[in-house]
Amino acid sequence: MIEKFINKVILGDCLDVLEKIPNDSVHLIVTSPPYNLNIQYENHSDELEYSDYLKWMSEVWKKCNEVLVRGGRLCINIGENKRQNISYPTYSAFIQSCVELNMLYRGTIIWNKNSAAKHTAWGSWNSPSNPHIVPRHEYIIIFSKGDYKLLGKKENCDLKPEEFMEYTRSVWSFGTESKTKIGHPAPFPLELPKRLIKFYSYKEQIVLDPFAGSGTVGIAASLLERNYILIDNSEEYCKLAEKRINDKNGMNLFNVSNKKDFIDSSAEIQILNN
């Protein structure tokens, strides 16, 4: 039953698609949802009432929890959500919502975006009257379902000791991805899913992204010999994800030259049938 979802880019609403995926079948979820910061997505209004947004997100985390195997992990990338100088505690709300689902909180990684961008949004310049914090980081919050330990074949662990050392540190530093280069309004860099997939899953396991966008999680999974399931409600982004996976875009980031090492997982789009 899970086979029909494997290595597919699925066009549909993530709640509908997650409903159809068998429970207890996915090993790892890596995702970055819409941040509710009025980003112009093709098929989503990114400007919900904050309470509606959190309610919707909680429903998604509930479905994510259901499809995970025991010991499976949920990794959510979310920013320090700031809009017009109002900060929204989205990061802590997501933690609260997953803890209420009885998911096991494993911790938070701070992604230091190495931002060199100039900014002028200091608030009250050089005065304590109302200075603003300008975020240069995002969060990756991590949960397990039911058990901290994930079962997998020892020979399917591909972590190198230096990677393990690096990934266990709570601050990860690497740059962002270019929207223009990728052709999507909010792609994350390949390095982000690459690290999470290597750190939190074994080769041949199933990695899912319910908000797949340009398909970065699928590219990383495919290059790392995992299976992927990608969902997005935009046909344009599904086509982009399919193309990027089939081109194996970003291969250089992995410094790998031997193509035969990669899992054979060419992408095709599947439209969710009701």
Ligand X SMILES: C[S@@+](CC[C@H](N)C(=O)[O-])C[C@H]1O[C@@H](n2cnc3c(N)ncnc32)[C@H](O)[C@@H]1O
Contact by Cβ (8 Å): 38, 49: no
Residues 1, 23: Cα–Cα separation, whole Å: 11
Nearest distance from residue 139's CB to ligand X, in Å?
A: 14
Residue with Cβ nearer ligand X (16 or 163): 16
Find tokens 């995926």 and name the residue.
21
Residues 167-226 that bind ligand X (CB under 6 A): 184, 186-188, 211, 213-214, 216
Q: Does 237 bind ligand X (CB under 6 A)?
A: yes
Q: Does 54 bind ligand X (CB under 6 A)?
A: no
Q: Cα-flanking dihedrals φ and ψ of residue 4, to 5°?
A: -70, -10
Q: Does 34 bind ligand X (CB under 6 A)?
A: yes
Name which position in 66, 234, 253, 254 contacts ligand X (CB under 6 A): 234
The phi-psi region of residue 225 (left if phi > 0; otherwise alpha if psi is between -120 and 50; otherwise beta) is left
Name which position in 2, 37, 44, 134 contacts ligand X (CB under 6 A): 44
Find tokens 């549909």 and name the residue.
12
Q: Does 90 bind ligand X (CB under 6 A)?
A: no
Residue with Cβ nearer ligand X (49 or 162): 49
Residue with Cβ nearer ligand X (13 or 66): 13
Residues 208, 74: Cα–Cα separation, whole Å: 9
Nearest distance from residue 75's CB to ligand X, in Å?
A: 11
Residues 248, 256: Cα–Cα separation, whole Å: 12
128: which 2 tokens?
Answer: 């304590």
CA distances from 140 to 30, 127, 179, 243 (A): 9, 32, 20, 27
Residues 201, 150: Cα–Cα separation, whole Å: 8
Residue with Cβ nearer ligand X (38 or 156): 38
Nearest distance from residue 211's CB to ligand X, in Å?
A: 3
Question: Which range of residues in 124-132, 165-173, 228-236, 263-271 is near ligand X by CB under 6 A?
Answer: 228-236
Q: Does 81 bind ligand X (CB under 6 A)?
A: no
Q: Does 13 bind ligand X (CB under 6 A)?
A: yes
Q: Does 231 bind ligand X (CB under 6 A)?
A: yes
201: which 2 tokens?
Answer: 């899953």
Residue with Cβ nearer ligand X (71 or 185): 185
CA distances from 80 to 86, 117, 258 (A): 11, 16, 39
Name which position in 9, 10, 14, 197 contacts ligand X (CB under 6 A): 14
Nearest distance from residue 125's CB to ligand X, in Å?
A: 32
Question: Which range of residues in 113-121, 129-137, 167-175, 233-241 is near ligand X by CB under 6 A?
Answer: 233-241
Residues 156, 139: Cα–Cα separation, whole Å: 28
Residues 265, 213: Cα–Cα separation, whole Å: 18
Q: Which residues bind ligand X (CB under 6 A)?
A: 13-14, 32, 34, 41, 43-44, 184, 186-188, 211, 213-214, 216, 231-234, 237
